[in-house]
Amino acid sequence: MRKNRYIHIVILSLLLALPAGVNSQEVPGPDENIPFLITFGRQGGETSWGDDDFSQTFFFTIPKDYKDPFYIRIYDADIGGKTDELNNFWNTRMVYSVYGGKGCYTDPDAKGINPTGNYKSGTLLATRTFGMDNKLDERWFTFGPFNPADGEYYPKFSSNVFKIICDGVSGDDGNLYRYALSRRPDANVPIEGANAFTYEYTFRMWNNNDTSFVSHIYPYIDSGCIYIRQRNFDWDNDGEFIVVSVERKGQAMPLSGEDQWVDDRMPILDAEIGKSLDFRFYKKRGDLVRNNNVVMSVENQYGENLQFFSAPIGGVPVYKPKITVRPKK
Amino acid sequence: MKRHITYTAVLFTVLLICSSGLYGQAKGSFEVYPVPAISSGSDDMAPVILSDGILFCSNRKVNPFLTKKNLEGVRLYELYFAPFDQNGNPGKPVRFGSNLGKDTNIGPASVSSDGKTLYFTRNYIVGRKVKKNESNKLGIFTATRNGSQLTDVRPFEYNDPASNLSYPYVSADNRYLFFCSDMPGSLGKYDIYMCENVDGKWTSPVNLGDKVNSADAEINPFLHSSGRLYFASDRPGGHGGLDIWYTTLAFGAWTKPVVLDDPINSEADDFAFYAVQGSLEGYFASNRRKYNDDIFRFATTIIRWSVCDTLRENNYCYEFIEENALKNDTIDVRFRWEWNFGDGTKADGVTAEHCYSGPGDYDVSLDIVNLITGGIEKRQASYELAIMDIEQPVIVSPDKIMAGENLVLNAGESNLPGMDIARYYWNFGDETVSSGLEVSKIYSLPGKYNIQLIVSSKAAAGGVVREVCVCKNIEVTPDGN
């Protein structure tokens, strides 16, 4: 078992080290086709807007061989203006915090899906609080420079890991934003082999009732996975959720309703081990569900949360039909 | 009867030498050869093939100075055994069963399949002079064979001194005993009768009826593994004298007898046909050399393959399976699989079946339709399907016909690429043959026939001839049902 586990670590390291696309360090990633991440202010504790915990954590992996300074950039970091979701009047404040150092990733609370315990583990490298700020509306804000060595080195990824947490500390507006990992402070210049992932994805669906607007997220299926349990929140029954893999073509999964959690189990096929699944979300035709914000997480049979990588490990899984033709008896 | 001519040994020998070229050549479906080792200047007949040699009867001289005759001066028949040599040819004959009776005819005979029981013909009165006006007819007896010893001679339970019972033949499965008799109720001079072995006892003799028996004589019954009952008869319709005929028990009745062709039959007496079970080679007797009865060997010249492929039907129907989807067939999916079979037809499903109209190259592809968006993912997989006809000779004919109906068989659809065909040879399964691309055949007897089509190529470089065989069963019904 140890040997197998070691082999899998090596494979995952190689996969993570593969050259990623030009925009691969943007979150959401280009293969995900998700317009924005979203975090609401926690005032009033109203979850029916589509955020179950008013906090979102993402991790960035920087390949160990990358030694130059890098930056973490936030698009539309403020709360207010054209892109964010207004509730009565703009009163929300968001705190973005970047962590590195020991425990920033490996602390068990950091891998949770709820902002509890020591989820802010590690060394605080930078933090800033945002309210309404027209100067940042639909513009990029840059954290850094950071030294890659200030992250937590994680051998399985052969990478230094950094963590960024967005906490909606006050107010009740919805903060729509995106991240990017960059070699430059004034432009998004990707770092070869870097990636980003989260354990609980809270994002905005497209404001469109065209089913061609398909969003994806890509959980990675590690060795030893027998089945997964997906949990989704506040989907408002907006369309269809299917799972695609190299050997699974469009298995339908249940979607949640308004302010509701839904979960379902799905056995994992041998061919899916060591690859990513494609969770596809099709918007509903007909009546448009506007400003639909949703939450998704996945765990394995041990209750361990699985990562959603912005650049899917092993690439976007493509279903491969296998034809057999034989004479009829 | 031509058979009662006597000959001198010298004259016989001269003529045997002169006429030997007449035999050994193929005529019709058989080749016939003399068997000098067991032929004599006297009458030799009724061959019985045993595992280790030929048993026959002869009235030959015991030695140049001694001729066995009965008390009335008539030459007597006795049994002889000619053991096979290492090549399977009969060797020098020796007397067999000399203790079966003195001063009496012994033979013809038959032997049970285990070799332990001898059924033989013998006069009823043995060992004394027959009184004037006293009848001494032939009866059937059995003896137990133990090596070269024959003991425990017993009369057949249906013997009747007032009638002749002769020519016993016990079937290879020991179930039936055929014999010939002029007993009351007979239709002719000699009729064939049959008994069945039930719990170790022979049932009462049954006359085979007027299909088999005629107003003339029927003798020498022999039941072959093919189901044919061969016998000799001097009835009209033959080649002259005694001829060899056969009949078959079909649907509970004996069929109209068929006379064998030349060279088995001749204008002389031809009789005592005995073949190896499962084969068409054996021995028979004939006086075609005009002087006495001799034993001849025969072998079929008909080509029939012992192993011949059964005609296979070309299959243009296929199953198409999307294995990965089938593996997860129980899950609820939002896609539909759409097969394009490459001949302009389509079908939906994870699996599909399709029958093509004929051979060809077909580009099979699989589209997957997204049921949510209606979009079609074209050619997600493809398969080049090459359908070819089976490489084989092909027999085109009906599977069932009526007896007497003209059956046309055609080999024109044979698929033998690269073969420069020289001959289409047909074996109709009833020891008749023909050749040609299309042939006709009339079966007179109901039954099931296995037809072989043997196709030969022209000789290639080095004289190599390629041959292939295919067979097909034809059912011939009495009334077409």
The full DSSP string for B120-172 is EEEESS-SSPPPTT----EEEEEEEEETTEEEEEEE-TT--TTS-EEEEEE-T
CB contact under 8 A, A250 and B320: no
Q: Which residues pair with A72 in a beta bridge?
A: A143, A181
Q: Which residues pair with B320 in a beta bridge?
A: A325, B352
According to the model, what pLDDT value does residue B67 have?
Answer: 62
Q: pLDDT digit string (tens) for B7-47?
A: 223 223 223 333 333 333 334 578 899 998 888 888 999 99
Q: pLDDT digit string (tens) for B169-206?
A: 999 999 999 999 999 999 999 999 999 999 999 999 99
According to the model, what pLDDT value does residue A164 have?
Answer: 98
DSSP classification of residue A182: E
Contact B218, B232 (CB under 8 A): yes
Long-range contacts for A284-289 (Cβ within 8 Å, ≥24 apart)? A284/A209, A284/A237, A284/A238, A284/A239, A284/A240, A285/A209, A285/A210, A285/A211, A285/A239, A286/A209, A287/A209, A288/A207, A288/A208, A288/A209, A289/A205, A289/A209, A289/A236, A289/A238
According to the model, what pLDDT value does residue B479 have?
Answer: 63
CB contact under 8 A, A242 and B385: no
Name the nearest CA neighbour of A61 among A138, A155, A145: A155
ipTM above 0.85, yes or no: no
Contact A279, A219 (CB under 8 A): yes
According to the model, what pLDDT value does residue B21 have?
Answer: 30
Cα A191-A196-A199 angle, rounded to 5 deg: 170
According to the model, what pLDDT value does residue B291 have?
Answer: 75
CB contact under 8 A, B321 and A321: no
Structure tokens at B182: 């002029």
For residue B1, pLDDT over 70 is answered with no
- Could you check whether the bond before residue B263 is cis, i.e. omega within 30 degrees of 0? yes
| Amino acid identity for residue A202 in this structure | T
Banded model confidence at residue B63, pLDDT cuts 50, 70, 90 = low
Q: pLDDT digit string (tens) for B460-476?
A: 877 888 999 999 999 99
Question: pLDDT exceeding 90 applies to what percent of chain B?
Answer: 61
According to the model, what pLDDT value does residue B434 have?
Answer: 84
Radius of gyration for chain A, computed over Cα atoms and rounded to the nearest angstrom: 20
According to the model, what pLDDT value does residue B7 have?
Answer: 29
Please state the rounded mean pLDDT for residues B139-156.
89
- pTM of the complete model beyond 0.80: no
- From first to last of its 329 residues, chain A has per-residue pLDDT tens of 344 444 444 445 544 444 344 444 899 999 999 999 999 999 989 999 999 999 999 999 999 999 999 999 999 999 999 889 999 999 999 999 999 999 999 999 999 999 999 999 999 999 999 999 999 999 999 998 999 999 999 999 999 999 999 999 999 999 999 999 999 999 999 999 999 999 999 999 998 877 667 999 999 999 999 999 999 999 999 999 999 999 999 899 999 999 999 999 999 999 999 999 999 999 988 888 889 999 999 999 999 999 999 999 999 999 999 999 999 98
Distance between CA atoms of residues B452 and B77, nearest Å: 44
Provide CB contacts within 8 A for B70, sequence distance 6+: B76, B103, B104, B105
Q: Give the nearest partner residue to B318 out of A212, A321, A325, using CB atoms.
A: A325
B333 touches chain A (CB under 8 A): yes
**Cα-Cα end-to-end distance for chain A:** 45
According to the model, what pLDDT value does residue B83 have?
Answer: 94
User: Which residue's entry shows tokens 């005009």?
Assistant: B290
Q: Give the nearest partner residue to B327 out of A247, A251, A319, using CB atoms.
A: A247
For A55, A172, A179, B347, the CA distances from A167, given in Å and listed in that order, are 4, 12, 14, 54
Name the nearest CA neighbour of A260 among A232, A241, A297: A232
Residue B373 with chain A: CB contacts under 8 Å: 211-212, 214, 282
SS3 A252: strand
Banded model confidence at residue B61, pLDDT cuts 50, 70, 90 = confident
CB contact under 8 A, B335 and A250: yes
Q: pLDDT digit string (tens) for B368-423?
A: 999 988 999 999 999 999 999 999 999 999 999 998 888 999 999 999 999 999 99
Q: Work out the number of other CB atoms within 10 angstroms of the CB of residue B257.
A: 24
According to the model, what pLDDT value does residue B392 have?
Answer: 96
For residue B322, pLDDT over 60 is answered with yes
Comparing alpha-carbon positions, the chain A residue that sits nearest to B317 is: A328
User: Which residue's entry shows tokens 């193929």?
Assistant: B26
Contact A249, A277 (CB under 8 A): no
Mean pLDDT of chain B, nearest integer: 87
Banded model confidence at residue B248, pLDDT cuts 50, 70, 90 = confident
- In a mutational test of the A interface, the residue from B333, B369, B371, B379 whose CB has the highest number of chain A CBs within 10 Å is B333
According to the model, what pLDDT value does residue B68 have?
Answer: 62
According to the model, what pLDDT value does residue B126 have?
Answer: 85
Residues of A with CB under 8 A from a CB of B: 211-212, 214, 239-240, 242, 247-252, 269, 282, 319-328
Distance between CA atoms of residues A145 and B119, nearest Å: 118
